[in-house]
Amino acid sequence: MSDEHNINSEEELENHHDHHHHDHDHHHDEEEQTIILSLDDNTELECHVLGIFDCDNQKYMALLPFGEEDVFIYRYQEGEDGGPILDLIENDDEYDKVGQTFYDILEEKEEDTNQD
């Protein structure tokens, strides 16, 4: 998994979900990064940032909500102001391919860890 984490504390993150914008707070420390997603229903969901990775010349960010087992994967890009922008993946074929790429990255990382 890439060590590329371009999220800095106090930055705003935009999530385009059915053309609705969401604000996000970020917490950054040396060991773990988190994002607080502000959802459409005005609830907040704190997530671990698992990483940023590439698939077919597009960057994606993988998030794991605290206390959950399901990983959220979003298209990732850097905005004009340098802040990150997340977009939902709405195409099933793209999601399946990106999900498999993320799984493969996790498998490689686990193999590397087991070899140490």
Domain boundaries, the chain: 14-115
* pTM beyond 0.85, yes or no: no
Q: What is the C-alpha to C-alpha distance for residues 59 and 44, in angstroms, rounded to an integer?
A: 24
Contact (CB, 8 A) for 41 and 31: no
- Is the pLDDT higher at 30 or at 99? 99
Q: How confident is the model at residue 82 (pLDDT cuts 50, 70, 90)?
A: confident
Average pLDDT over residues 78-89: 84
- Provide the token pair at 38: 């502000």
Q: How far apart are CA 100 and CA 92, in angstroms?
A: 12
- Which pair of tokens denotes residue 91? 């195409």
Q: Strand 33-38 vs strand 14-16: parallel, antiparallel, or unpaired?
A: unpaired
CB 78 within 8 A of CB 84: yes
> What confidence score (pLDDT) does residue 84 get?
74
Element (H, E) at 54: strand 44-55
Distance of CA 103 to the CA centre of its chain: 14
User: DSSP letter at 23?
Assistant: -
pLDDT in tens, 24-70: 454 444 467 888 877 889 999 999 999 999 999 999 999 999 999 99
Q: Which residue has the higher pLDDT, 61 or 112?
A: 61
Mean pLDDT, to the nearest integer, of 93-115? 90
Output the CA–CA distances (angstroms, integers) from residue 106 to 20, 33, 62, 81, 100, in the order listed.
Answer: 31, 18, 11, 31, 10
